[in-house]
Structure 1
Amino acid sequence: MNIITCLVFMILQTPSNVAGETPYIQFKKGACMGECPVYQITVDHDGKLTFKGVRFTNKDGIYERMLTKKEFRKLKCTFKKSKLKKFEDGYGLDVMDASASTLTVNKKNFTKTIVSKIGMPEKLEKAEAYLVSLSPQSANAAYEWTTIKESNSPVISGRKEIAAKEIILQLKPNVTIESWVTKYKKYGVQVNRQIVPNRPLYLLRYDPKTVQFTQLLKKMNTDIDVDSAEENKKVEMR
């Protein structure tokens, strides 16, 4: 699409939204086995942007703002120029320790979802980057946000305090952490770090909303791939 066509498209587009309508754009950034930002961006058809910061983000909690007409038209134009229909549904999904980006665009008679880890097309990367630039996750974002829900997690020097109930896990020889951790995905189990280099000893975190800590420890200690699993009783500030 050339510049003139894109400008015409921007002028002709007018924001519209129907209550209960599927959002125009949904973008999710998932976790990795480190401290990757986890967040979600939603843009409605009327230009309302909602940001939900889950972990390791610039602004944890739920925040909203209306995009300006210029921002919203540029966003639509950017995604139109990217020609989403031509893209595959997934890129680099076989990479284990990488954060996945899930993008869903809903238009009239057209819905496209693309999950990417690495190797995404340049046009798709630019479109996602512009979307993120409109959110609190952008370092240059100086917008006024309406707070819907603040994070309840304590923050020290811009980082969360990691709770005491972490897990020290030792796997049996020849068991990889990448394959093992997928078995506990429903409990939100993730690797904070490898405690000792060249040894299968890891510090884990989990989602306390999904399972009781004692039950999770019991499950891990009966796992045939686990040598031991115990509570990390020391509170660390990171």
Structure 2
Amino acid sequence: MRVLHLLILVLGAGIFMASTCRPLTNKDLDKLTPRIQMEKGPCFGSCPVYTLTIYEGGVATYEGQRFTTRQGLHTKLLATNTYRELIKTFQSANLWSYQNAYKAQIPDVATVTITYYEGDKSKSIKGKDGRPAKIEELEKMLTAIADSGGWEQQAAGENYGMPPNIIANELIVNLSAEADPNVWIIQFAKQDLQIVKRLSPNSPYWLFRFNADRIGPNEMLEWVRRDPYVLSAEFNQQINGTPRND
């Protein structure tokens, strides 16, 4: 894993051992100094939702959340000239002279937040459409990095960061009698939502399983709960080590 070996040189001893080449975690990244971050939020369609962070020295992380080809935490090491040119462009942009937020004219497009760190200072600029041309130019540079190749997936974290009694990729959903579960799940095809079983022959409660590598468990639960045919939804849980609805 070439990228991880390079990351070892950048991160230094004490973050993780070269002999194990274990994947990076958020705890490792907390020891790095961020320089640039771009957060792309949701829209009313299928806009990619992710966070791109560039750290001192060129370590980059991509955390895909929704409607992205890469889900979860990914890392890469930027080429030296790419990193230097990026920092130079941000320094010359004088972001301190811009507003912190720009009012949107088109409300259903994604909100983009770009943050630049310089020493003890930081500047965040948030907006949708209607931002200054220079800010949109910086966004294009960062988007090009996010869309580039060479990313390596890192550990998703134990149980996707959920409590140990929670089955992070299973939901118990109380569906309206008007909904056909086989049709209802089609809208969640990208999350690979599948019917596990009906909890009892005439019960409105269904057990579903989804791919937690494609979407975070809490995000999936929130999304399902917003559906008009869903009366309630919760994670399946283990009781004494056994799934509650096994």
Q: Normalised by the size of structure 1, how large is the TM-score?
A: 0.55
Residue 130 of structure 1 corresponds to 141
Residue 146 of structure 1 corresponds to 152
Tell me the SS of whatever aligns to 2:153. strand
Residue 230 of structure 2 corresponds to 231
The amino acid that maps onto 2:219 is D
Q: Is the 8 A contact 1:93 1:116 kept in 2?
A: yes
Q: Is the 8 A contact 2:11 2:32 kept in 1?
A: no
Residue 170 of structure 1 corresponds to none
Residue 89 of structure 1 corresponds to 100
What is the CA distance between 1:19 and its match in structure 2?
6.4
Pick one of 60, 69, 74 that aligns with 2:80.
69
Residue 192 of structure 1 corresponds to none
Q: Does 1:54 align with 2:53?
A: no
Tell me the SS of whatever aligns to 2:34. coil
Pick one of 193, 204, 229 that aligns with 1:163.
193
What is the CA distance between 1:116 and its match in structure 2?
1.0
Q: Is the 8 A contact 2:224 2:230 kept in 1?
A: no
Q: Mind listing any 5+ residue stretches in structure 2 that lack a counterpart?
A: 1-9, 13-28, 161-167, 170-188, 196-217, 232-246
Residue 171 of structure 1 corresponds to none
Tell me the SS of whatever aligns to 1:124. helix
What is the CA distance between 1:146 and its match in structure 2?
2.1
Q: Is the 8 A contact 2:36 2:54 kept in 1?
A: yes
Aligned CA-pair RMSD: 3.6
What is the CA distance between 1:21 and its match in structure 2?
4.7
Q: Does 1:43 align with 2:54?
A: yes
Pick one of 43, 52, 56 that aligns with 1:32.
43
Q: Is the 8 A contact 1:25 1:105 kept in 2?
A: yes
Q: Mind listing any 5+ residue stretches in structure 1 that lack a counterpart?
A: 1-14, 154-158, 166-205, 218-228, 233-238
Distance 1:129 1:49 in 2: 16
How many corresponding residue pairs? 156
Distance 2:83 2:224 in 1: 44
Distance 2:137 2:11 in 1: 25
Pick one of 93, 100, 106 that aligns with 2:117.
106
Cα gap change, 1:209/1:125 in structure 2, threshold over 3 Å: closer, same or farther?
Answer: same
Cα gap change, 1:164/1:91 in structure 2, threshold over 3 Å: closer, same or farther?
Answer: farther
